[in-house]
Amino acid sequence: MIELDKKIYIAGHTGMVGSAILRKFKWLGYNNFVTRSRSELDLVNQNDTDNFFKIEKPEIVIVAAAKVGGILANNTYRAEFIYDNLMIEANIINAAYKNGAEKLIFLGSSCIYPKLAPQPLKEEYLLTNTLEHTNEPYAIAKIAGIKLCESYFHQYGSNFYSVMPTNLYGPNDNFDLAASHVLPALIRKFHEAKNKTVEGKNRVEIWGSGKPMREFLFVDDLADAIFFLMNKINAKDMYESGITHLNIGCGEDISISDLADKIKKIVGYEEEVVYDHTKPDGAPKKLLDVTRIHQLGWKHTTNLDDGIKKTYEWFLEQERKK
Ligand SMILES: NC(=O)c1ccc[n+]([C@@H]2O[C@H](COP(=O)([O-])OP(=O)(O)OC[C@H]3O[C@@H](n4cnc5c(N)ncnc54)[C@H](OP(=O)(O)O)[C@@H]3O)[C@@H](O)[C@H]2O)c1
């Protein structure tokens, strides 16, 4: 097992994913973290990122910092999504190499796969066809991150590799309707409609047809998978087995309308739900093939109902603090 006193830098530790990884690693007994909030270190800035690595020299680096958002944000702020993400990952990966990091794990997402790739999505389908238009800039940046890790391994022998989580949810998720993903957006909408906190809202509108199929993984399970892989896999194993990254998911999907029904029940909302067919659906189905990570010996442990309940409890706690 990776020693408990290794110096670990979790980029993006205030975000949903980074905070879950930090929580998990602390719980496991790791005690030598280096963290910087965005206001302390803007990872888009190459000089500042270089200086930070020169001074701190982290031994393990986990790249969970990124500009992240839902369909609307991705489609509207296309330049920011490609520029910020390319800069963040290039700056971190290059600085980690120059300062001798022992291991780096880069987090991408399932949108890197072609829009109409066969389902479930196998790791090998990367770069086999065209991407979904709405989040293409984000996906191109994430693919560049995978290729940076792979190229630094091939040229310099760096122990850098990538993982591709499916849609995640959990504590610290973004519940702001202008930028959130579908699951937290539904929690907020049902919660507000139930409590009528928004003037005049007594029915819930859901974007799209409700038909797309999506997979969801509780973020604490992702943190568990990262810890598992960090100990089990080196870059050499990954690239020698002919892949550039590993999928992390639960291997099951659900339609958006069934997801909405689940959340509706958990939140306790009993009134009308309507589907806004003028809003985009995105890809019809997105399910990761998780055969490889299962074969390595990792499986998720939180089912969707329990994960949504825990997330809603966290959301309620934040509302109470306001
Ligand atoms: N959420 C998902 O469903 C999902 C699914 C698959 C993969 N992932 C991947 O997981 C990673 C993290 O996602 P997340 O959901 O945790 O996002 P998040 O909650 O928005 O967190 C992103 C983190 O990155 C930081 N950050 C953004 N821009 C930065 C900058 N210029 N300099 C320094 N820090 C910066 C943010 O800091 P501030 O809080 O100060 O902005 C925050 O700590 C991403 O790579 C994403 O692709 C997420």
Q: Is the pLDDT of residue 304 over 80?
A: yes
Spot the catalytic one: 30, 138, 169, 269: 138
C-alpha 165/C-alpha 123 separation (Å) is 11
pLDDT tens, position by position, 51-96: 999 999 999 999 999 999 877 888 999 999 999 999 999 999 999 9
- The whole-number average pLDDT for the span 89-115 is 97
> Which position has the token pair 């442990």?
301
Antiparallel, parallel or unpaired: β 245-248 and 160-165: parallel
What separation in angstroms does the CA of 248 have from each of 86, 131, 165, 237, 300? Answer: 22, 20, 4, 17, 9
* Cα three-residue angle 10-131-188, rounded to 5 degrees: 60
Residue 161 lies in a domain: yes
Q: What rounded mean pLDDT belongs to the chain?
A: 95
> Tell me, what's the pLDDT at 201?
57
**For residue 321, is it within any domain?**
no
Pocket residues: Cβ below 6 A from ligand 1: 12, 14-18, 37-38, 42-44, 64-68, 84, 88, 107, 109, 165, 167-168, 174, 181
Counting the structural domains of the chain, the total is: 1
Active site residue 138: yes
For 16-70, the DSSP string reads: HHHHHHHHHHHHHT---EE---TTT--TT-HHHHHHHHHHH--SEEEE-------
In this prediction, residue 280 carries a pLDDT of 80
Q: Please tell me the least confidently modeled range out of 20-29, 201-210, 295-304, 309-318.
A: 201-210
> Does the pLDDT value for residue 322 go beyond 90?
no
The CATH number of the domain holding residue 139 is 3.40.50.720
Pocket probe mutation, ligand 1, options 21, 23, 24, 38, max atoms within 8 Å of Cβ = 38
Beta partners for residue 204, in sequence order: 273
Is residue 191 scored above 90 in pLDDT?
yes
Evaluate whether residue 220 is within a structural domain: yes
Residue 239 and residue 308 in contact, taking contact as beta carbons nearer than 8 Å: no
- 266 lies in some domain: no
276 within a domain of the structure (yes/no)? no
pLDDT for the residue numbered 197: 60
Strand partners, 10: 62
Distance from Cα 227 to the centre of ligand 1, integer Å: 18
Ramachandran quadrant class, 284 (left: phi over 0; alpha: psi -120 to 50; beta: rest): alpha
Which parts of the chain fold into alpha helices (H)?
A: 16-28, 46-56, 71-76, 78-98, 136-156, 182-195, 219-232, 235-240, 256-267, 291-296, 304-321
The alpha carbon of 10 and the centre of ligand 1 are apart by a number of angstroms equal to 11
74 CA distance to ligand 1 middle (Å)? 13
- The atom of ligand 1 lying closest to the CA of 13 is 43
Residue 279: inside a domain:
no
Tell me, in angstroms, the distance from the centre of ligand 1 to residue 64's CA: 6
110 in any annotated domain: yes
pLDDT confidence of residue 199: 60
Instruction: Provide the pLDDT confidence category of residue 200 given band limits of 50, 70 and 90.
Output: low
Question: In terms of residue numbers, what domain contains 112?
Answer: 8-170+215-251+285-302
- Confidence band for 198, pLDDT divided at 50, 70 and 90: low
Inter-axis angle of helices 182-195 and 304-321, nearest 10: 60
Does some domain include residue 208?
Answer: no
